[in-house]
Amino acid sequence: MAEKTWVRMVTAQTPTNIAVIKYWGKRDETLILPVNDSISVTLDPAHLCTTTTVAVSPSFDQDRMWLNGKEISLSGGRYQNCLREIRARACAVEDKEKGIKIAKKDWEKLHLHVASYNNFPTAAGLASSAAGFACLVFALAKLMNAKEDNSELSAIARQGSGSACRSLFGGFVKWIMGKAEDGSDSLAVQLVDEKHWDELVIIIAVVSSRQKETSSTTGMRDSVETSLLLQHRAKEVVPKRIKQMEEAIKNRDFGSFAQLSCADSNQFHAVCLDTCPPIFYMNDTSHRIISCVEKWNCSEGTPQVAYTFDAGPNAVLIAHNRKAATQLMQKLLFCFPPSSDADLNSYVIGDKSILKDAG
Ligand code: DP6
């Protein structure tokens, strides 16, 4: 008769985050320690998030992972670092009902299966490792009964992908770069929760669905090695901006928030241009969106919309409120009508609907 076996499973869901003060550059590539603090806003999980199920069973003979239904290798250093760190913190588990009893030392021998899904179109170029690693670490911590809080877990998710550490919290989140050589104080803290500034509406304009040519990891390595502007930014500019951004968020001061977000995005892309060889993440459509927002903000006298671009041409637009978001959508539709050649789709985040307008 076959021996009775069991499977213990945990499912978690983690949204992605968008930096308004960017992380760009590592001082330690293995531990993923940044050259500056960064601040992000976590998106509504209804729109852009990763759902991950982790399972453990004595019948599994190796660690395996599936991403959007396709098996991927877990042998990469980043996955291995996260698995090792969580296994080291695993505690005993007992579930009498299901007949499961796992001693602390058993976790060393037991194998894991991981299935992860993104709820956003992967082809849209929005796939982010941030939600993925945050969700993996969070789910594994629950499965293995680790007692660490979300900040402590963020220091593990960071070793999967830097920006992942900020996805362990909702609202506005700060990744403190830390000073310790072992990276133990390089972790994320929540500045304010999602209710603090809930009138903001985030719109993602998908400019191109193509995969970026230079990954963030490679791009920031080249910037650290060659860009003088990056050194100046990390030492002189970001420390002041972080303080100003924290104030703007605390006071819900949209004018300062927009000015700082746009300036920081532009400086990040200036660093990319200052890198040898230069990196071009934005394209003509991205530049047209910037001009459109700048002109509108200028004509209103006070900013209505902030823009920020990560390592790609897609625009993340943060509107002051629903009225500004509606006007922004009208302007985008006017500038990029559905029949136009510009490859632009707009997704409204922070609302129940995802509007696919053009392209
Ligand atoms: C431009 O976190 O993807 O989005 O740590 O090498 O995995 P690795 O890089 P990643 O870089 C994100 C860069 C950014 C800015 C940001 O999110 O702060």
User: Chain-centre distance of CA 146, in angstroms?
Assistant: 23
CB 133 within 8 A of CB 99: no
Distance CA 137, CA 25 (A): 23
Per-position b or e across 263-273, b if 16+ CB within 10 A of its CB:
ebbebbbebbe
Q: Does residue 162 have its Cβ closer than 6 Å to ligand 1?
A: yes
Q: Residue 261 carries which side chain, given as an amino acid letter?
A: S
Spatial CA neighbour of 125 closest among 329, 300, 286, 340: 286
CB 317 within 8 A of CB 20: no
Q: Does residue 311 have its Cβ closer than 6 Å to ligand 1?
A: yes
Q: Does residue 238 have its Cβ closer than 6 Å to ligand 1?
A: no
Q: Is the dihedral of CA 168, 173, 179, 185 positive or negative?
A: negative
Instruction: Give the pLDDT score at 48.
Output: 83
Please give the number of the atom of ligand 1 that sits closest to the Cα of 215.
Answer: 3
Q: What value of ipTM does the predicted structure carry? A: 0.99
Distance CA 197, CA 111 (A): 42
* Residue 76, number of CB atoms within 10 A of its CB: 10
Q: Does residue 161 have its Cβ closer than 6 Å to ligand 1?
A: yes
Instruction: Give the pLDDT score at 67.
Output: 93
The per-residue pLDDT string of the chain (359 residues; one tens digit each, 9 = 90 and over) reads 455 689 999 999 999 999 999 999 999 999 999 999 999 999 988 778 899 999 999 999 999 999 999 999 999 899 999 999 999 999 999 999 889 999 999 999 999 999 999 887 554 456 568 899 999 999 999 999 999 999 999 999 999 999 999 999 999 999 999 999 999 999 999 999 999 999 999 998 888 766 677 889 999 999 999 999 999 999 999 999 999 999 999 999 999 999 999 999 999 999 999 999 999 999 999 999 999 999 999 999 999 999 999 998 989 999 999 999 999 999 988 888 766 555 555 544 443 333 332 22
State how far the alpha carbon of 293 is from the alpha carbons of 155, 215, 300, in Å: 36, 27, 11
Q: Residue 321 carries which side chain, given as an amino acid letter?
A: N
Instruction: Give the pLDDT score at 340.
Output: 56
Query: What is the crossing angle of helices 254-273 and 216-226, to 10°?
Result: 80
- Give the per-residue SS3 of 156-186: HHCCCCHHHHHHHCCCEEEEECCCCCCCCCC
Name which residue sits closest to atom 3 of ligand 1, judged by CA.
216
Q: Does residue 81 have its Cβ closer than 6 Å to ligand 1?
A: no
Please give the number of the atom of ligand 1 that sits closest to the Cα of 38.
Answer: 18
Spatial CA neighbour of 286 closest among 259, 261, 315, 310: 315
Distance CA 29, CA 19 (A): 20
* Beta strands, E only, the chain: 8-15, 17-21, 26-28, 33-34, 38-42, 49-57, 64-67, 70-72, 93-95, 100-102, 111-118, 172-176, 187-192, 201-206, 305-309, 315-319, 345-349
CB 165 within 8 A of CB 188: yes
Q: Is 261 helix (H, G, I), strand (E, B) or coil?
A: helix
Q: Is 95 helix (H, G, I), strand (E, B) or coil?
A: strand
Name which residue sits closest to atom 1 of ligand 1, judged by CA.
310
Q: Is 73 helix (H, G, I), strand (E, B) or coil?
A: coil
Strand partners, 210: none
> What's the farthest any 2 CA atoms get from each other in the chain?
78
